[in-house]
Amino acid sequence: MTTGPDAAGGFSLEPGPDLREMRDWVHRFAADAIRPAGAEWDEREETPWPILEDAAKIGLYSLDFFSSQWLEPSGLGIPIAFEELFWGDAGIALSLVGSTLAAVAVASNGTPEQIGEWLPEMFGGPGDVKLGAFCASEPEAGSDVGAIRTRAEYREASDEWILNGTKSWATNGGIADVHVVVASVDPSLGARGQASFVIPPGTPGLSQGQKFRKHGVRASHTAEVVLDGVRVPGRCLVGGQERLEATLGRVRSGGRSGEQAAMKTFEASRPSVAAMAVGVGRAAVEFARDYATQRVAFGRPIGQNQAIGFMLADMQAAVDAARLLTWRAAWMARQGMALEGAEGSMSKLVASETAVRVTEQAIQILGGNGYTRDFPVERWHRDAKIFTIFEGTSEIQRMIIGRAVTGLDVR
């Protein structure tokens, strides 16, 4: 993975100067604006609009920033940026990056016209901040995306699609300006009969259902999205009608459909989710390290005790290993390499479970203090758990990795 211009022997793990400058810029915002506000917005359980606005003013919350990092040649732009944001606070950071999953869904599968029209509407700008939401999960279809029941029916006479169903666990669901919804267009084909649709702002029939009160990442809005006779023009079918008909035709004749809409979006985003978990884990390690060097018990810093020192050693090694797996997957994806070894799933599995483990260990190092809301490690531990669940549970990641390792249909 060559990221620096002067990599000895053509190989370097040091990000180049542009990435380092970006990393430091994002870190300053995370340190100055995000981390100090983490506890407040966790308690309020509301979208932190003032911080989104501040990020928009400096160009951090913007289509230009996220797209430039997504297209950064080494593939490390998004992982590095996300690690710094989630080092600050996971709930606020998820509000800042929540629109990117919807943007990826359109950017990965949409036509140039759709990309140009809808991606700017997911971010807006200073004074007019906007949000996007990707809606795939349902009350009875989480990891099993093949069980999606939301239906989209095409009316040729009026060239429009009519959507009905309920989506669940949607980040920014119901409050977003643009929703991207995965629906079944041919239930007889299961997951291979699905497509994605853009629901423009203000479309009648789309409403917010239940807002979820969560264990962690509470500054990020998560809710049901109800679709009741939602009508959208034919141009809102992501990828277009011709492409959908060609795909369905291949499936019906016994051919391959290619990657299904929701899975393609999740696969592209897994290293990014891993980077989020790395950021939370790193925050916990650094906080516990600093505490262990300052907290004195029995006449010496507790970090001098092997029980603490060894724990910190394992925590640091685990976070660094998770980052390297994340960078490998992101670099491979950016170079157009097939992730045949399930490298994306591997990065998410290791990073997410590392974040849960090291945040728990940080609480242990802080003792009673770590169990109180006066110290952030309690919140970070609550936040970390979501990474083992959303965008593919740890069990799903192990199934994918198991198939890659054995070549067998592990179920």
pLDDT in tens, 50-94: 999 999 999 999 999 999 999 999 999 999 999 999 999 999 999
**How far is the C-alpha of 181 from the C-alpha of 195, rounded, in Å?**
8
Write the CA distances from 54 to 32, 79, 178, 386, 404, integer angstroms.
Answer: 11, 22, 21, 26, 43
150: how many CB neighbours lie within 10 A of its CB?
22
What average pLDDT does the chain have?
93
Read off the tokens for 96: 């800042």
- pTM of this prediction exceeds 0.95: no
With beta carbons less than 8 A apart as the criterion, state whether 68 and 26 touch: no
* Nearest-10 Cα torsion for 326, 191, 389, 74: 10
The residue ranking higher by pLDDT, 4 or 120, is 120
Task: Using alpha carbons, select from 157, 108, 142 the residue that is nearest to residue 267.
Answer: 108
Q: Express each pLDDT in 328-372 by its tens digit.
A: 999 999 998 988 999 999 999 999 999 999 999 999 999 999 999
Instruction: Say how many CA atoms lie within 13 Å of 305 toward its Cβ.
Output: 14
Read off the tokens for 16: 């180049």
Q: What pLDDT does residue 9 have? A: 54
Q: Express each pLDDT in 268-314 by its tens digit.
A: 679 999 999 999 999 999 999 999 999 999 999 999 999 999 999 99
Read off the tokens for 184: 């079944």
Instruction: State whether residue 165 is helix, strand or coil.
Output: strand
Question: For this structure, is 391 an active site residue?
Answer: yes
* % the chain with pLDDT above 90: 84
202: left (phi over 0), alpha (psi -120 to 50) or beta: left
Segment 229-258 shows an average pLDDT of 88
Using the CB atoms, write b or e for 355-387: b if 16+ within 10 Å. Answer: bbbbbbbbbebbeeebeeeebbbbbbbbbbbbb
Catalytic residue among 84, 286, 391, 395: 391
